[in-house]
Amino acid sequence: MSTDLPVLTAADFGSDQDIRWCPGCGDYSILAQMKKMLPNLGVPREKIVFISGIGCSSRFPYYMNTYGMHSIHGRAPAFATGLKLARPDLQVWVITGDGDALSIGGNHLMHVIRRNVNLNIVLFNNRIYGLTKGQYSPTSPPGKRTKSTPYGSIDNPLNPLSLAVGCEATFVARSIDTYIKHLGATLERAAEHQGTSFVEVYQNCNVFNDGAWSYATDRNIKADHLLELEHGKPMIFGKNRDKGIRLNGMEPEVVELGKGVQEDDLLFHDEKATEPTLAYLLSRMRVDDGFPEPIGVLRSVEHPTYDGGVVAQMDEVTAQKGKGDLNALFRMGDTWEVEAETT
C-alpha cells in the first residue's frame, strides 16, 4: 500500500505479549538483538515469519510483532520448509533449542540444511532442557548431573556445528547471548545469506544450567577461550592477542605469537572455502581440548537454494509445456463418447 517504507525500530518488532522467560535468562538478550538487528534489513514486518518448536527458546515468536508459529517439538524446520516453498517471498526464521533441534528434531534439521532451503535457523544452546525443568540434552557435557542423569551423563555429546557441516551446510556460524554486538552482526549475516543459515548461540539458562558457558562469557577468561573468526584474517586470539592457530598436517595447534611464529604462519580463515573441511576442523576446536572456540562465521558459500530450485523447475516445465490445461489433461489417455440414446 504505502510506497516508501516506514523506518522501523527495535520496539516496532516487539509484540504485546508478556515475556515469560525467567528473569536473567539468556533468551532475553537474543530477543533484544534480533529486534535491534531486523530494522537494518529493510524487510517489512509482515514479510517476516518466525517459526519455533517447543522449549523455552521456542516461545520466541510470541514476542515478535511479525507472523509466527509456535509449532510442535522438534519440527520447526519442516513447517518452515513448507512455508518457504509455498511463499518464497517471505523471510523465514527458525528458532529452536538444543533439545528441540538436536534431539527430537535432528532429522528435520539435517534435511533442511542439506536441502539448503533459504531460511535462517537460530539454535539457542543452553546444554539443557529448560522448559521441562532440567534434563540433560544432546549438548550436555559427559558426566553432567541433571534430573535425568543423577549419577552423571554417559552420553557422548553432539557438536551442533560439526553436525551442520556434516549435513552440507552452506552457512554456519556461532555467537553468544551476552556478546551482543557480535550476536547482532552474526544474525544479520545469517539473514543475508541465500540458503540455510545455521547459527548456534551459546545461551545461559540461569535456572537449570547456570554458568554452562561461563568460560566463554566471564570477562577474565573469555578472550583465551574464544577465537573470533574474520574472513581472510589469521586466527589470533587471547587477551593480548598473542596466541594463534597453526595447522600441523591436518591438525590445528595453538601457538604463541612472537616466539619465532609470525602471523603469516597461522591458519587464515576462509569462510568461502569450497571444501567444507576447514569449517569442519574449526567446529572441532573445544576448550576442553585446549583450543579456543571459534565464534563468527565458519562457513558461508553460495549454492543453489531448494526453494529457488522448486520455482525454477516449475517455470521451466511451464515454459516447455505451457500452462497446464485440465480439460486437456483429462483427455490425455484414451477416451470414448457415449451418445445420447435414440431409442
Partner 1 sequence: MSTTPQDTLHSDKDTESLLGATVRLAGDSGDGMQLVGSQLTNASALAGNDVATFPDFPAEIRAPRGTRAGVSGFQLQFSSEDIFTPGDELDALVVMNPAALVTNIGDLRDRGVLIANEDSFAGKDLKLANLDQNPLESDDLKKYNLIKVPITSLTRTAVSEVKNADGNTLGTKEADRCKNFFALGIICWLYGRNLEPTIRFLNDKFGKKRPDVAEANTLALKAGWNYGETAELFERNYQVQPAHLTPGTYTNVMGNQALAWGLVTAANLSNKELFYGSYPITPASPVLEELSNFKNYGVKTFQAEDEIAAICSAIGAAFGGSMALTGSSGPGIALKGEAMGLAMILELPMLILNVQRGGPSTGLPTKTEQSDLLQVMFGRNGESPLPVIAARSPSDCFDVAQEAWRISSRFMIPVIILSDGYIANGAEPWKIPDVAELEKISISHPGPIEEGETFLPYSRNEDLARPWALPGTETLMHRLGGLEKEDLTGNVSYDPDNHQYMTNIRQEKVDRIAHVVDPVEVSGPASGDLLVLSWGGTYGACITACRRAREDGMSVAHAHLRWLAPFPANLEEVLKQYKKVLIPELNMGQLSLLIRAKFLIDVAQLNKVKGKPFKVSEILKRIRDEIELLK
Ligand X SMILES: Cc1ncc(C[n+]2csc(CCOP(=O)(O)OP(=O)(O)O)c2C)c(N)n1
Which residues sit at the interface with Mg ion, rule CB under 5 A? 97-98, 126
Q: Which of 50, 63, 93, 129 binds ligand X (CB under 6 A)?
A: 129
Q: Do 176 and 185 meet the contact criterion of CB atoms below 8 Å apart? A: no
How far apart are CB 203 and ligand SF4 at their closest, in Å? Answer: 7
Give start and end residues of each alpha helix (H) in 42-149. Answer: 76-86, 98-99, 106-115
Decide if residue 198 touches ligand SF4 (CB under 6 A): no
Map grid coordinates 463418447 to a residue: 337
Distance CA(84)–CA(86), nearest Å, equals 5
The only residue of 20, 272, 277, 331 in contact with its own copies, by rule CB under 8 A: 277
Q: What is the closest distance, in whole angstroms, from the C-beta atom of residue 137 to Mg ion in the complex? A: 5
Residue among 160 and 195 whose Cβ is closer to ligand X:
160
Q: Which stretch binds its own copies (CB under 8 A): 29-37, 97-105, 172-180, 254-262?
A: 97-105
Contact window for ligand SF4 (CB under 6 A) among 22-30, 138-146, 257-265, 302-310: 22-30
Q: Is 211 left (phi over 0), alpha (psi -120 to 50) or beta?
A: left
Rank residues 15 and 148 by Cβ distance to ligand X and give the closer one.
148
Exactly one of 30, 37, 38, 56 binds ligand SF4 (CB under 6 A); that residue is 56
Please give the size of the binding site for ligand SF4, defined by CB under 6 A.
11
Three-state secondary-structure class, residue 226: strand
Asked if 177 interacts with ligand SF4 (CB under 6 A), we say: no
Cβ proximity to ligand SF4: between 27 and 100 the closer is 27
Residue 167 CA to its chain's centroid (Å): 13
> Cα 168–169–172 angle (5° rounding)?
150
Q: Which of 208, 213, 280, 291 binds ligand SF4 (CB under 6 A)?
A: 208
CA proximity to 165, closest of 279, 30, 294: 279
Among positions 274-313, residues that touch partner 1 (CB under 8 A) are 310, 313
Cα→Cα distances 193→79, 117, 188, 307, 316, Å:
20, 11, 9, 14, 25
Angle value at C-alpha 32, between 161 and 179, nearest 5 degrees: 50
**Nearest alpha carbon to residue 110 among 164, 161, 52, 54:** 164
Residues between 113 and 152 with contacts to ligand SF4, criterion CB under 6 A: 126, 130
Q: Which of 154, 326, 329, 340 binds its own copies (CB under 8 A)?
A: 154
Helix segments in 116-179, DSSP class H: 160-166
Pick from 124, 198, 280, 291: which binds ligand X (CB under 6 A)?
A: 124
Q: Which spans of this chain sit near its own copies (rule: CB under 8 A)?
A: 103-107, 110-111, 114-116, 138, 151-152, 154-159, 162-168, 247, 249-251, 273, 275-278, 280-281, 284, 303-304, 306, 309-310, 312-313, 316-317
